[in-house]
């Protein structure tokens, strides 16, 4: 298939379930079936159809999908029951190295199923002693500990990065996530085996896209090396109302010409569920901005401080006016000019 991403080919997320995969495959297969295209476009249709079938073949098979999630497309070309082939796939593959462990939907603090993504300069390392993070807990014994002790001079396998997509509400209030991961470690014979583990992530208020959360030695392990680090990188899910700009929150509101001239009370529901009423009494011009101090995002390094809420207005002009309405406007606006 070349280097196309199987998830992108089917236009699904990396957490898509069987039903979502099936629906996506059916829709795209019907669209790109070569018989539905004229002769001049058959070549492109055949190539697309082949990609779609190949992607579905891999992602609908649990074992193939896990290998693909761990190693990318190159991993499918090797017999991962062989440690040399399995670990060769993590190094060098055309996808640029380790694609990441297999991350499955799990529960978050409010009981919903989650998966998701993470990114913004190196933030607090959840695995550090000062963070008091739960990363020090978990299975430090067994295979991983045994091979870590015999690893060559502390050299680590390549780190694994995965996105952790968070809603703006989570990044505003903070949230707790549990992520179930599957990683490869060598057993006593050197054969690659899969180890499942649940990691706890404490998402802190104010974290931004790009914030990195590092779990030391929770990535894949190769014979003779320490296990690599597992890094989650924060990504932000688009919000229906608010857009983030650094520590500020932006809102675009449309008002009628009448409201722009006579004033309006704007009611907004904040990310923590409060109803905020803003009285706009000034004449509003297109692009006019109202700033509400301290109603933006929390500042992660200064938890008691927040950015600002910035409301930008767009004025909706009427599509037509009657003769009487025009006369009234001339009379009223003419006197005020």
The structure's pTM equals: 0.52
Residue 148 pLDDT exceeds 50: no
pLDDT in tens, 167-196: 999 999 999 988 888 888 888 777 888 888
Alpha helices in the chain (DSSP H): 6-10, 18-32, 42-59, 62-71, 83-90, 143-149, 168-173, 257-262, 323-336
Report how far residue 31's alpha carbon sits from residue 45's, in angstroms, rounded to the nearest whole number. Answer: 9
132 Cβ neighbours under 8 A, 6+ residues apart: none
pLDDT recorded at residue 129: 33
pLDDT in tens, 130-147: 333 323 323 333 333 333
Mean pLDDT of the region 32-54 = 87
pLDDT in tens, 289-303: 999 999 999 998 887
Set out the domains of the chain in order of their start, with CATH numbers. Answer: 98-236 (2.60.260.20), 243-336 (2.60.260.20)
pLDDT recorded at residue 133: 31
pLDDT recorded at residue 165: 92
317-328 burial code (b ≥16 CB/10 A, e <16): eeeeeeeeeeee
């Amino acid at each position: 298939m070349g280097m196309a991403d199987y998830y992108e080919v089917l236009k699904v997320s990396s957490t898509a379930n069987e039903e979502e995969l099936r629906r996506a495959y059916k829709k795209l297969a019907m669209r790109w079936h070569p018989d539905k295209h004229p002769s001049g476009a058959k070549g492109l249709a055949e190539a697309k159809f082949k990609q779609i079938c190949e992607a579905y073949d891999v992602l609908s098979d649990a074992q193939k999908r896990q290998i693909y999630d761990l190693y990318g497309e190159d991993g499918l070309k090797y017999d991962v029951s062989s440690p040399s082939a399995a670990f060769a796939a993590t190094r060098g593959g055309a996808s640029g190295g380790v694609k990441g462990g297999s991350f499955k939907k799990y529960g978050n603090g409010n009981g919903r199923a989650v998966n998701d993504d993470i990114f913004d300069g190196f933030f607090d390392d959840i695995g550090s002693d000062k963070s008091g993070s739960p990363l020090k807990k978990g299975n430090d014994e067994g295979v991983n500990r045994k091979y870590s002790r015999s690893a060559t001079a502390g050299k680590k396998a390549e780190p694994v990065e995965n996105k952790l997509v968070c809603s703006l509400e989570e990044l505003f209030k903070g949230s707790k996530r549990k992520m179930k991961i599957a990683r490869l470690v060598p057993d006593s014979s050197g054969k690659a085996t899969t180890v499942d583990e649940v990691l706890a992530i404490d998402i802190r208020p104010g974290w931004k896209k790009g914030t990195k959360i590092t779990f030391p030695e929770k990535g894949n392990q190769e014979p003779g090396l320490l296990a690599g680090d597992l890094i989650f990188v924060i990504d932000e899910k688009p919000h229906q109302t608010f857009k983030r700009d650094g520590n500020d929150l932006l809102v675009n509101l449309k008002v009628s010409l009448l409201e722009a001239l006579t004033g309006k009370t704007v009611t907004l529901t904040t990310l923590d569920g409060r109803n905020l009423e803003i009285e706009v009494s000034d004449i509003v011009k297109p692009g006019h901005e109202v700033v509400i101090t301290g109603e933006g995002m929390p500042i992660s390094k200064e938890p008691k401080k927040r950015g600002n809420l910035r409301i930008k207005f767009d004025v909706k002009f009427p599509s037509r006016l009657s003769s009487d309405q025009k006369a009234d406007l001339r009379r009223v606006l003419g006197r005020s000019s």
